[in-house]
Amino acid sequence: MAGRPINFTNGISTVAKTQPLGDFPIPDPFHSSSNSGLGVAHYAHDFLTTTTGDYTVTGTGSTFALTNVVGGAAILTPGGATTASSAYKTNTFFKFVPGNKAWFASRFMISSVTGPTAYVGLQAGGSAADGLWFAMASGGTFNLVSTVSSTATTLVSGVATAANATWIELAFYYNGTDLLVFANGNLVARAASPNLTSALLSPVFQITPTATQTLTVDFVLAAVEVSR
């Protein structure tokens, strides 16, 4: 890290002085503005620990478990050579609301991109009928796909191309109207006024292997602006 951090020895407040948390020395965790009645509900997981029931795993014999990686990670291991497998956060909490902002980011890798298909993003719990995810075809190329009531639309083609056993970070930011799409921290596309599901969603990781491929997740963040 270059240089020294700036030290705010009296703390940092994000609300007006006249508000109940005006002298609270850290940012208000539930409101993002003193006047608009908005807050940001966020889920961030670095996979240092795990909680029983936090994720639901599909696929006979498939597992989603912590693995020994610097900084923490979890690995989705299919139960068989062709077993479609997924791990999704059990409770749904994320929803696209026109005018409200939303964020998603995840860093992950696939052991081999030759053969399997996979996707990482947001899904309506155990149902793939609604969601927004980065979908990979065999060969490693990711597209951003919006699915609404089982109708899938590719919003952005060629977001990024993954390599075998190599970390890749994919993200999007919804500004209330448009989607800004990022790969490894770089803005790669903007999808104007996309058709997005109104279903409640949660993070999902999915892989359909052709041999013994696995999907390892370093971190995931999903956050949405809510009215409070």
In 3D space, the residue among 127, 166, 169, 167 whose CA is nearest the CA of residue 148 turns out to be: 127
Specify the pLDDT at position 228.
Answer: 81
Percent over 70 (pLDDT), the chain: 97
- Whether 29 and 142 map to the same domain: the answer is no
Residue 184, pLDDT score = 98
Termini Cα distance of the chain: 37
- Which residue range forms the structural domain that includes residue 26? 1-36
pLDDT of residue 56: 98
Looking at the fold, whether 158 and 134 belong to one and the same domain comes out as: yes
Amino acid letter for position 115: G
pLDDT of residue 13 exceeding 90: no
Angstrom distances, CA of residue 80 to CA of 77, 110, 118, 127, 213: 9, 16, 15, 22, 10
CA dist 115 and 54 (Å) reads 29
Looking at the structure, tell me whether residues 8 and 47 fall in a common domain.
no
The mean of the pLDDT values for the chain is: 94
Q: Are residues 69 and 6 in the same domain?
A: no
Residues 2 and 94 in one domain: no
The number of domains in the chain is 2
Q: Is the pLDDT of residue 35 over 80?
A: no
pLDDT tens readout for residues 188-225:
999 999 999 999 999 999 999 999 999 999 999 999 99
Pair 16, 110 in one domain: no
Q: CB atoms < 10 A from the CB of 72, how many?
A: 17
Asked if residue 75 and residue 16 are part of one domain, the reply reads no
Distance between CA 218 and CA 106 in Å, rounded?
Answer: 7
Compute the Cα dihedral for 132, 136, 142, 143 and give only its sign: negative
The pLDDT assigned to 139 comes to 93
Q: Domain check: are 181 and 131 in the same one?
A: yes
Which positions ≥6 away from 58 have C-beta within 8 Å? 84, 85, 86, 87, 88, 126
Instruction: Specify whether 29 is located in the same domain as 83.
Output: no
Considering the domain architecture, whether residues 74 and 154 belong to the same structural domain is answered as yes
Sign of CA dihedral 98, 101, 104, 105: positive
pLDDT tens digits, one per residue of 122-142: 999 999 999 999 999 999 999
In tens, the pLDDT along 36-55 reads 688 899 999 999 999 999 99
Using pLDDT thresholds of 50, 70 and 90, give the confidence band for residue 3: confident
Task: Indicate which CATH number applies to the domain containing 219.
Answer: 2.60.120.200
Residue 109 pLDDT exceeds 80:
yes
Say what the pLDDT of residue 1 is. 57
What was the pLDDT predicted at 222? Answer: 98
Do 16 and 108 share a domain, yes or no? no
The per-residue pLDDT for 122 is: 98
Model confidence at 34: pLDDT above 70: no
Contact 134, 159 (CB under 8 A): yes
Q: Among residues of the chain, what percentage have pLDDT more than 90?
A: 80
Question: Which whole number is the average pLDDT over 87-101?
Answer: 97
- Asked if residue 102 and residue 28 are part of one domain, the reply reads no
- Tell me the C-alpha distance between 16 and 20, whole Å: 9
